[in-house]
Amino acid sequence: MSKKIGVFVCHCGTNISATVDVEKVAEEAKKNNPGVSYTTTYKYMCSDPGQKLLRDKIKEEGLDGVVVAACSPKMHEHTFRNASKKAGMNPYHVEISNLREQCSWVHPDKPTGTEKSVDLVRMMTEKTRKDKSLNPIKVPVTKRALVIGGGIAGIQAALDIADAGHEVIMVEREASIGGHMAQLSETFPTLDCSQCIMTPKMVELAQNENITLYTWSEIEAVDGYLGNFDVKIRKKARSVDLDLCTGCSSCWQVCPSKKIKSEFDMGLGKRTAIYIPFPQAIPSKPVLDREHCLLFKDARKKNIPPNDSKVCRKCLDICPIAPVKAIDYTQEDEIITEKIGAIVVATGYKELDDISMYGEYGGGKYKDVITGLQFERLASASGPSEGEIQRPSDGKVPEIIVFIQCVGSRDPAKGCSYCSKTCCMYTAKHTMLYKHKVHHGHAYVFYIDIRCPGKGYEEFSLRAIEEEGATYLRGRVSRVYKKGDKLVVLGADTLTGSVVEIEADMVVLASAMKAQDDAEKFAQKLSIQYDKDKFFSEIHPKLKPVESSSAGIFLAGTCQGPKDIPETVAQAGAAASKVLALLSADELEREPVVAKVDRLPAPIFSTCIGCFYCQRVCPYGAIESEDIKARDGSTIKTVARVNEGLCQGCGLCAATCRSKSVELAGFNDEQVYAEINSVEFN
């Protein structure tokens, strides 16, 4: 039975009717088309009476297809589909002819506009004839969130979600949560101590009953889709049983390997092989570094199980837990699987640590050329020098210190063109911290521009110059070389046009925030996009700043791009609120504009031949393979299948399929064909 289609032509006040003969459009719609059983024009179709007209006529005339010839579908497609739904018609039998934006507003000549409008209505009428009923896809929601990364972004997001009453799984790959913020000495622009504001949050997280924390753990795989992710987490062998251990500190006090560079202290301090990264670590229980542990080294050398090595068992021996010790050399990685509804990615950044790429600044060459984070550790009261600024080479307090900005940022020649955003501010902070600790010292800063667009930031930066007496020099440094125990910094002062030569005791490079080394691989694991610098991409830079390209996965903090703490916290809160909105429903409804691979009766089953080009082009990993089985269990055919939960409806698969075995609902083959076929130019 052919469809009964109604065509409603809108005047849009006079927006359409002034340059399009709407009566004629309606008349032609009927004349050309036996399937069109009703046509009318109306002043404002989108108005309440206009929508009522639509609803009434659907019922009275028994319409099962509607074309509204009005403005852009971006304006009111939703409106008219809703109205039709209320009248009992499946909303996907409504199509919009865009007369306003495509005719009346751009073609002032009435006959021309009218002629084109007649065409546009015919095209949509033909498409409507082929429209099929579609029903929203309902997806159940697992009410549990995963937060990846336990820095300030992850902690904030996890707390926000947990405080709203939802379960949160937090995965942190280091032995403790805290991230980079825990390493900072004081924070701009208030100069409050980072530990003082960070550690209470860490404790709060650990104590929150809704939060399950996995430290020393990494994401192994993420499968599934919005509302229904299956996440595999690798709990790396810690060699310490977290349930038994009390964190009494005996083990790391007796550990004989005491000269391992501390990652937390950016290599400036030392740690033991069994250790906690820093005193306020959460959990405050150690991890055994198998790389450096004497016992494991010995076992590797002799190729024997670690437990058989007798070289050193001091930590095990001293462990006071009984009868079973908390230290276990035989522990292995463990994979656990969690069902998750939504994910916050807060994996943070990595400071540019390969400063040897800045050999001209002495990076990697001279011990007293250090990075920004190293300076943080020197300035930190809990750092390797207990807050005294000392040169790494000889422990001398530097009297002249030079800060060089934009190291690893704003430097296209070195492949990093972006601005790292926080360095101007942290350098200003560094000059102040330095000045507060070394009163007689002098700080110089080489900069390209000073960028401090935050609340109180400009003032903070000026304070460094005007009150704390730092000398700011606009220009690049060309060379740093050693002369005696001094570092000679050769640079330009472009404001005075002179060459500057400073004999410094120490040089601090304002090294940039970089994406994590494994960012690319990690993004692929999650099927999210990343930019040229490997920072994860938000789906819209302005309107969807925390949404990743995969539905249900949100971004927080510096994994998305360089940012400071307030911005990170704000973004984490935004990501959390997006997660909460998702978890607030029991079921999600999704637009049914998804692809489908055909299924036919035996013996064909599907015209799909299983070449899986569709799978290769799908940006969402939404194409799965399905074995069509015979009764005896043998595979007759392996074909493609679309996971509706993952499909976003782009139609790439449909256009790639040579046999056209996969089609996109709402834009299926017959619909597109009908549209093309109905183009009739006169």
Partner 1 sequence: MIEELRKKAEELLKNGTVKVVFGYGEGSVPERTRPVFITKPEDVNKLTWNKYCVYNLTTYLKRQETRKLGKPALILKGCDARTIIVLLKECQIKREDVYIIGVTCDGVGDPLAEKCKACDVHTPLIYDDLVGEKRENKEVPFEERYAELDEYEKLEEKDKWEFWQKQFEKCIKCYACSNICPLCFCDRCIVEKNQPQWIDPSAHPRGNLSWNVTRAYHLAGRCINCEECQRVCPVDIPLNLLNKKLAKEAEKSFDYRPGYNIDDELAMSTYKEDDDEDFFK
Partner 2 sequence: MSKAEAKPENQFEPKIIAFLCNWCTYAGADLAGTGRKEYQANVRIIKLPCTGGIDPLFLIKAFERGADGILVSGCHPGDCHYNSGNYHARRRWNVFRPLLEFCGINPDRIQFSWISAAEGGKWVETINGIVDAVRELGPFESYQKLNTIGPETSGGAADASSETG
Residue closer to partner 1, measured from CB, 78 or 660: 660
SS3 301: helix
109's contact among partner 2, partner 1, none, with CB below 5 to 8 A by partner kind, is: partner 2
253's contact among partner 1, partner 2, none, with CB below 5 to 8 A by partner kind, is: none
Q: Tokens 């549209």, residue?
A: 675
Report the alpha-carbon distance of residue 569 to residue 181 in Å, rounded: 11
SS3 56: helix
Tokens for 562? 């360089």
> Is there binding between residue 656 and partner 1 (CB under 8 A)?
yes
Residue closer to partner 1, measured from CB, 301 or 660: 660
Q: What angle do CA 302, 254, 262 make, to 5 degrees?
A: 80
- The minimum distance between CB 600 and partner 1, in angstroms, equals 9
120's contact among partner 2, partner 1, none, with CB below 5 to 8 A by partner kind, is: partner 2
| Helices within 70-189 (DSSP H only) | 73-86, 99, 110-130, 152-163
- The minimum distance between CB 374 and partner 1, in angstroms, equals 36
Considering only 58-66, 136-144, 497-505, 645-653, which stretch makes contact with partner 2 by CB under 8 A? 645-653
Tally of CA atoms within 13 A in the half-sphere of 651 that contains its CB = 11
Main-chain phi, psi angles of 261, to 5 degrees: -65, 130
Torsion of CA 63, 69, 71, 75, to 10 degrees: 20
| Helices within 563-619 (DSSP H only) | 565-583, 613-617
423's contact among partner 2, partner 1, none, with CB below 5 to 8 A by partner kind, is: none
SS3 224: strand
Sign of CA dihedral 270, 275, 279, 282: positive
Using alpha carbons, select from 206, 204, 186 the residue that is nearest to residue 196.
186
Side chain identity at 611, as an amino acid letter? C
> Is there binding between residue 566 and partner 2 (CB under 8 A)?
no
- The minimum distance between CB 357 and partner 2, in angstroms, equals 27
> Is there binding between residue 658 and partner 1 (CB under 8 A)?
yes
Give the length of the chain: 682
Interacting residues with partner 1 between 570 and 629 (CB under 8 A): 604, 607-613, 616-617
156's contact among partner 2, partner 1, none, with CB below 5 to 8 A by partner kind, is: none
682's contact among partner 1, partner 2, none, with CB below 5 to 8 A by partner kind, is: partner 2
Side chain identity at 563, as an amino acid letter? K
Question: Applying CB under 8 A, which of residues 138, 638, 679, 680 lies at the interface with partner 1?
Answer: 638
Those residues with Cβ within 8 angstroms of residue 549's Cβ, 6 or more apart along the chain or in another chain: 527, 528, 529, 537, 539, 619
Report the alpha-carbon distance of residue 378 to residue 394 in Å, rounded: 14
Report the alpha-carbon distance of residue 104 to residue 12 in Å, rounded: 10
Tell which phi-psi region holds residue 186, choosing left (phi > 0), alpha (psi between -120 and 50) or beta: beta
Binding-site size, partner 2 (CB under 8 A) = 46
Sign of CA dihedral 119, 124, 126, 127: positive
Those residues with Cβ within 8 angstroms of residue 302's Cβ, 6 or more apart along the chain or in another chain: 309
Beta bridge partners of 413: none
611's contact among partner 2, partner 1, none, with CB below 5 to 8 A by partner kind, is: partner 1
SS3 664: strand
200's contact among partner 1, partner 2, none, with CB below 5 to 8 A by partner kind, is: none
- The minimum distance between CB 661 and partner 1, in angstroms, equals 8
670's contact among partner 2, partner 1, none, with CB below 5 to 8 A by partner kind, is: partner 1
> Is there binding between residue 612 and partner 2 (CB under 8 A)?
no
Report the alpha-carbon distance of residue 606 to residue 627 in Å, rounded: 11
| Helices within 234-281 (DSSP H only) | 250-254
- The minimum distance between CB 125 and partner 2, in angstroms, equals 14
- The minimum distance between CB 602 and partner 1, in angstroms, equals 13
- The minimum distance between CB 673 and partner 1, in angstroms, equals 4
Question: Applying CB under 8 A, which of residues 192, 587, 627, 669 lies at the interface with partner 1?
Answer: 669
Interacting residues with partner 2 between 236 and 295 (CB under 8 A): none
> Is there binding between residue 75 and partner 1 (CB under 8 A)?
no
- The minimum distance between CB 676 and partner 1, in angstroms, equals 9
Are the C-beta atoms of 114 and 24 separated by less than 8 Å? yes
CA 160 centroid distance within chain: 18
Interacting residues with partner 2 between 56 and 85 (CB under 8 A): 72-74
Question: Applying CB under 8 A, which of residues 593, 609, 611, 628 lies at the interface with partner 2?
Answer: 593
> Is there binding between residue 661 and partner 2 (CB under 8 A)?
no
Q: 97 burial class (0-12, 13-18, 19+ CB within 10 angstroms)?
A: buried
Report the alpha-carbon distance of residue 579 to residue 585 in Å, rounded: 11
> Is there binding between residue 664 and partner 2 (CB under 8 A)?
yes
Residue closer to partner 1, measured from CB, 494 or 659: 659
Report the alpha-carbon distance of residue 243 to residue 335 in Å, rounded: 18
> Is there binding between residue 654 and partner 2 (CB under 8 A)?
yes
- The minimum distance between CB 495 and partner 2, in angstroms, equals 37
- The minimum distance between CB 482 and partner 1, in angstroms, equals 43
Tell which phi-psi region holds residue 100, choosing left (phi > 0), alpha (psi between -120 and 50) or beta: alpha
> Is there binding between residue 494 and partner 1 (CB under 8 A)?
no
Tokens for 332? 């292995």
Question: Applying CB under 8 A, which of residues 531, 659, 679, 680 lies at the interface with partner 1?
Answer: 659
> Is there binding between residue 137 and partner 2 (CB under 8 A)?
no
> Is there binding between residue 419 and partner 1 (CB under 8 A)?
no
Considering only 170-178, 329-337, 394-402, 665-673, which stretch makes contact with partner 1 by CB under 8 A? 665-673
- The minimum distance between CB 130 and partner 1, in angstroms, equals 9
607's contact among partner 1, partner 2, none, with CB below 5 to 8 A by partner kind, is: partner 1
- The minimum distance between CB 226 and partner 2, in angstroms, equals 16
> Is there binding between residue 529 and partner 2 (CB under 8 A)?
yes
| Helices within 323-473 (DSSP H only) | 372-379, 423-437, 457-466
Considering only 117-125, 169-177, 186-194, 366-374, which stretch makes contact with partner 2 by CB under 8 A? 117-125
SS3 33: coil
SS3 14: coil
> Is there binding between residue 474 and partner 2 (CB under 8 A)?
no
- Which is it for strands 587-590 and 137-140: parallel, antiparallel or unpaired? antiparallel
495's contact among partner 1, partner 2, none, with CB below 5 to 8 A by partner kind, is: none
- The minimum distance between CB 192 and partner 2, in angstroms, equals 40
Residue closer to partner 2, measured from CB, 123 or 512: 123
Considering only 136-144, 275-283, 567-575, 665-673, which stretch makes contact with partner 2 by CB under 8 A? 665-673
Side chain identity at 657, as an amino acid letter? C
Binding footprint of partner 2 on the chain (CB under 8 A): 72-74, 98, 100-103, 105-109, 111-113, 115-116, 119-120, 123, 529, 549, 593, 617, 619, 648-652, 654-656, 660, 664, 667, 672-673, 675-677, 679-682
Binding footprint of partner 1 on the chain (CB under 8 A): 604, 607-613, 616-617, 638, 656, 658-661, 669-670, 673-674, 677
